[in-house]
């Protein structure tokens, strides 16, 4: 519990309406998008400018009070879950677009600015911000930086880390860090990449300079249906091998297709086992050439139906179904558990087949929706939390999927972060010496571990308790230990 004296000092730093500690005001902040984990915060601080953020951090540092930074709350790994005895620092009021430079193709924004709002503001200059998570209508750029978010167009244009130039951030001690620069490269260590994806454990971001791209002359999407999920997975690698780098290459299986079509009416075929959406963009001649190659590859890869969007309206409709897949799947089951792992593209057929086998083993249906081009999987495990034991079963199934990703040479997360959800799987992917380095980096920025404690990187003694749980040849080295 936070002391009355501390709360009084916190209130003195902010307008009265910016400090919440009544239960009815705190409940909306008890979880992020991963609602299976909930914890009511002790207090919520809603600063309205950078100076207030710095003052709050200095106060918390002086009193050794932990701080959990939160953006729009759309995260899916429990990274913004409140911690007992901590201040939940909500940055949603820092939502100004400070500047857009159409010549330099940059925008300077505060962390609470919505992802989509950047592109909307830049549209007058025929520019846009490339990373486009499915939640882009709601998610904030600060959260995107914290999780290194991707999106359906990340294959060609990269993740958040590839699309930002500079950060202003504050340490827990209230020291300002200006990381990166407005040029294409900066001298010294690549601290910009270090902070991107650090999940609020190193510093609190108060300003982001992002890159903007010109709108392509033409963009066109091809829809391809397959009667087998593994065949569709193999087609992904075949497209890349043919020398085409699509702007987006997304895959959905039967359950996801049916849910999205019922929800959005995107015109998807309902009699197929898997669907690929492959978008190419660029100058007119380049798009025509790439479309020809893509269609040839899809035919040779066993597609049962191939359609090319004939208008911009149809292109947007195809993507609307994919971007609405997550909420659409919510119509199929009372609950679902969204996983996030990344694998080599060559392993897609094998991994999808194994997920299907595990689905039968656990008796839980899975809807697969993912960024096929870069191997970022998002299996949605359907369950009913009202049924005793089903949540635990879904979590165990999800853990098996993550172990499988590591087994085939992948990683336990692609864009949702580790947060609280995957912290035990960090001991599957990494050995003690590697985790030691992670903790040393954390200590260099935050010696008292006050920023987002208990998230992302496990304490070394916990990994020692669990054992060196590296996956080798599909087997954990200590089967007597708990599986996560």
Identify the CA nearest to 86 among candidates 411, 448, 374, 354.
448
Residues 246 and 208 in one domain: no
Domain that holds residue 325: 218-329
Asked, for residue 477, whether it belongs to a domain, the answer is no
Tabulate helix, strand, coil % of the chain (nearest 5). 40, 20, 40
Domain contains 472: no
Within this chain, do residues 116 and 189 fall inside the same structural domain, yes or no?
yes
Strand partners, 251: 276, 370
Residues 289 and 196 in one domain: no
Chosen domain end from 214, 236, 267: 214
Task: Tell me, yes or no, whether 474 lies in a domain.
Answer: no
Instruction: Verify that 196 and 111 share a domain, yes or no.
Output: yes
The side-by-side arrangement of strands in the sheet containing 97-101 is: 97-101, 106-109, 204-211, 164-170, 176-180
CB atoms inside a 10 Å sphere around CB 15: 11
Same-domain pairing of 456 and 340: yes
Q: Assess whether 381 and 434 both reside in one domain.
A: yes
267 found inside a domain: yes
- Residue 354: inside a domain, yes or no? yes
Rounded to two decimals, what is the model's pTM? Answer: 0.93
Kindly report the CATH number assigned to the domain that includes residue 445: 3.30.70.2740
The answer on 136 and 117 residing in a single domain is yes
**Distance of alpha carbon 257 from alpha carbon 265, whole angstroms:** 10
DSSP label of 386: T
Distances (CA, A) of 95 to 67, 86, 170: 20, 24, 17
- Rounded to whole angstroms, how far apart are CA atoms 308 and 90? 43
CB 196 within 8 A of CB 148: yes
Residues recorded for the chain: 484
Q: Which helix (H) or strand (E) holds 304?
A: none
Q: What is the CATH number of the domain that holds 132?
A: 3.30.465.10
Per-residue confidence (pLDDT) for residue 480, from 0 to 100: 36
Residue 167's nearest CA partner among 175, 158, 176, 159 is 176
What are the residues facing 278 on neighbouring strands?
222, 249
Q: Which CATH number do you get for residue 65?
A: 3.30.43.10
Residue 350: predicted pLDDT: 93
- Helices (H) and strands (E) counted in the chain, each on its own, are 17, 20
Token duo for residue 349: 């057929």
The H-assigned helical ranges of 242-311 are: 254-264, 284-300
Alpha-carbon distance of 236 to 272, in angstroms, equals 17
Domain of 261: which CATH number? 3.30.70.2190
Structure tokens at 115: 């992802």
The gap from C-alpha 448 to its chain's centroid, in whole angstroms, comes to 27
Does one domain contain both 274 and 299? yes
Q: Where is the domain boundary, 27, 59, 90?
A: 90
Which tokens hold the place of 199?
């999940």
192 and 139 part of one domain: yes
Question: Residue with structure tokens 């990449």?
Answer: 193
Phi/psi at 61 (nearest 5 deg)? -65, -45
Residue 423, judged by CB atoms within 10 A of its CB (0-12, 13-18, 19+), counts as buried
Any domain includes 473: no
* 162 domain-assigned: yes
N-term to C-term CA, the chain? 30
Residue 40: both structure tokens together: 């009511």
Is 377 inside any structural domain? yes
> What pLDDT score was predicted for residue 467?
59
Cα–Cα–Cα angle for 483, 455, 444, nearest 5°? 125
Could you list the pLDDT tens digit for every one of the 484 residues in the chain?
Answer: 899 999 999 999 999 999 999 999 999 999 999 988 999 999 999 999 999 999 999 999 999 999 999 999 999 999 999 999 999 999 999 999 999 999 999 999 999 999 999 999 999 999 999 999 999 999 999 999 999 999 999 999 999 999 999 999 999 999 999 999 988 777 788 999 999 999 999 999 999 999 999 999 999 999 999 999 989 999 999 999 999 999 999 999 999 999 999 999 999 999 999 999 999 999 999 999 999 999 999 999 999 999 999 999 999 999 999 999 999 999 999 999 999 999 999 999 899 999 999 999 999 999 999 999 999 999 999 999 999 999 999 999 999 999 999 999 999 999 999 999 999 999 999 998 999 999 999 999 999 999 999 999 998 877 777 654 554 443 433 333 333 2
Identify the pLDDT of residue 193: 96
Which H helix or E strand runs over 189? none
Residues 460 and 345 in one domain: yes
Tokens of 105: 């193709």
457 with 342, same domain? Answer: yes
User: Domain boundary at 49, 68, 90, which?
Assistant: 90
Q: What phi and psi, each to the nearest 5 degrees, are found at residue 44? A: -120, 125
Of 50, 2, 48, 6, nearest to 26 by C-alpha is 2
Tokens 């009416």 — which residue?
265
How far apart are the C-alpha atoms of 218 and 202, rounded to whole Å?
Answer: 41
Separation of alpha carbons 118 and 95, rounded Å: 11
Note whether 125 and 191 are same-domain residues. Answer: yes
Number of domains comprising the chain = 4
């Amino acid at each position: 519990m936070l002391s009355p004296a501390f709360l009084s000092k916190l209130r003195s730093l902010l307008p009265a309406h910016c400090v919440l500690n009544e239960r009815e005001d705190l409940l909306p902040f008890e979880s992020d998008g991963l609602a299976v984990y909930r914890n009511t915060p002790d207090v919520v601080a809603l600063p309205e400018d950078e100076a207030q953020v710095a003052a709050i951090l200095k106060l918390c540092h002086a009193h050794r009070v932990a701080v959990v930074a939160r953006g729009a709350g759309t995260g899916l790994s429990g990274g913004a879950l409140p911690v007992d005895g901590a201040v939940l620092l909500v940055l949603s009021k820092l939502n100004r677009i400070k500047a857009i430079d159409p010549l330099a193709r940059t925008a300077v924004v505060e962390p609470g600015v919505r992802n989509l709002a950047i592109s909307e503001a830049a549209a007058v200059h025929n520019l846009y911000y490339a990373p486009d998570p499915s939640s882009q209508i709601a998610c904030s750029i600060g959260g995107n930086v914290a999780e290194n978010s991707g999106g359906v167009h990340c294959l060609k244009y990269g993740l958040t880390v590839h699309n930002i130039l500079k950060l202003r951030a504050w340490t827990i001690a209230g020291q300002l860090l200006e990381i990166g620069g407005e040029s294409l490269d900066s001298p010294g260590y690549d601290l910009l990449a270090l902070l991107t994806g650090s999940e609020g454990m190193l510093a609190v971001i108060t300003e982001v300079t992002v890159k903007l791209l010109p709108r392509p002359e033409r963009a066109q999407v091809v829809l391809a249906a397959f009667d087998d999920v593994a065949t569709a997975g193999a087609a992904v690698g075949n497209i890349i091998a043919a020398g085409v780098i699509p702007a987006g290459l997304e895959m959905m299986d039967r359950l996801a297709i049916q849910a999205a079509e019922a929800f959005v009416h995107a015109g998807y075929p309902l009699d197929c086992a898997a669907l690929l959406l492959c978008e190419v963009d660029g100058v007119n001649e380049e798009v025509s050439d790439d479309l020809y190659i893509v269609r040839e590859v899809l035919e040779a890869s066993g597609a049962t139906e191939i359609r090319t969007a004939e208008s911009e309206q149809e292109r947007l409709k195809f993507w609307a179904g994919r971007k609405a897949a997550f909420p659409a799947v919510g119509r199929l089951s009372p609950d679902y558990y969204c996983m996030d792992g990344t694998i080599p593209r060559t392993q897609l057929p094998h991994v999808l087949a194994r997920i299907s086998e595990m689905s039968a083993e656990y008796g839980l249906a899975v809807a697969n929706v993912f960024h096929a081009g870069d191997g970022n999987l998002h299996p949605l495990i359907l369950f009913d939390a009202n049924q005793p034991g089903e949540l635990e079963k879904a979590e165990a199934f999800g853990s098996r999927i993550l172990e499988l990703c590591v087994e085939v040479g992948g990683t336990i997360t692609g864009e949702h972060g580790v947060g609280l959800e995957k912290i035990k799987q960090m001991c599957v992917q990494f050995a003690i010496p590697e985790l030691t380095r992670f903790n040393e980096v954390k200590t260099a920025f935050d010696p008292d571990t006050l920023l987002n404690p208990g998230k992302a990187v496990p304490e070394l003694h916990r990994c020692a308790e669990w054992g060196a749980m590296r996956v080798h040849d599909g087997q954990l080295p200590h089967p007597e230990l708990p599986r996560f």
